[in-house]
């Protein structure tokens, strides 16, 4: 999976087709949903991100193509435990404030992806236990992240790099931790009905 989706291009495409999600939130949401539902997360995620956009709009088709690529790459990276998984954020040459806001939005999307999934008590108990409870707490804090105006640029850069690395590892750990939940989601209602007879 060599195809990469660029944050700024996707962000622009989402804006132009009228989506209410930005690129970082969109990727965070996808990552959270994949952790809970695996491959089945795709269609629902796409519908949610493109909700309220005009299906006949050519810009929406372009946007959907980019989202499909993002979905394929992200699922591949997580399921194959590839080291190139990383949150979709602006490039390092973008403004520090812009990158920090995008990181906060990524966390919002990720948390939403985890907690809005329909898996009832089993998922809720798992999210309330360590290590996931810690990750959720940390990410909640990160949704309020902003650059420290009193610190020099180098310090801010170092802090940002550290936080992005934390998100990279935390997302992969969450995916690993929720593998049982994903596998129980794989059993369709039909297969469950069969086991009941």
pTM, entire model: 0.88
Q: What is the pLDDT of residues 90-120, one digit of tens each?
A: 998 888 889 999 999 999 999 999 987 666 7
Query: Which segment, 23-32, 72-81, 129-138, 178-187, is predicted with the most confidence on average?
Result: 23-32
How far apart CA 80 and CA 124 sit, in angstroms, is 26
Quick check: 10 and 66 in contact, CB under 8 A? yes
Domains of the chain in sequence order: 7-185 (1.20.120.740)
| pLDDT band per the 50, 70, 90 thresholds, residue 156 | confident
Mean pLDDT score, 78-95 = 89
How far apart CA 82 and CA 1 sit, in angstroms, is 11
How far apart CA 56 and CA 146 sit, in angstroms, is 38
């Amino acid at each position: 999976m060599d195809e990469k989706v660029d944050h700024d291009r996707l962000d622009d495409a989402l804006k132009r087709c009228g989506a209410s999600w930005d690129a970082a939130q969109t990727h965070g949401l996808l990552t959270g949903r994949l952790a809970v539902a695996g491959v089945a997360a795709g269609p629902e995620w796409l519908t949610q991100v493109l909700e309220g956009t005009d299906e006949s709009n050519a810009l929406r088709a372009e946007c959907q193509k980019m989202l499909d690529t993002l979905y394929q790459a992200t699922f591949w990276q997580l399921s194959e435990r590839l080291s190139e998984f990383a949150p979709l954020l602006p490039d390092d040459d973008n403004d520090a404030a812009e990158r920090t806001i995008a990181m906060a939005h990524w966390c919002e999307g990720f948390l939403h992806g985890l907690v809005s999934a329909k898996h009832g008590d089993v998922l809720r108990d798992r999210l309330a236990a360590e290590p996931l409870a810690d990750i959720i707490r940390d990410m909640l804090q990160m949704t309020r992240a902003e650059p420290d105006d009193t610190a020099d640029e180098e310090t801010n850069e170092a802090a940002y790099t550290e936080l992005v690395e934390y998100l990279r590892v935390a997302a992969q750990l969450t995916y690993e931790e929720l593998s049982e939940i994903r596998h129980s989601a794989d059993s369709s209602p039909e297969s469950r009905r069969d086991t009941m007879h």
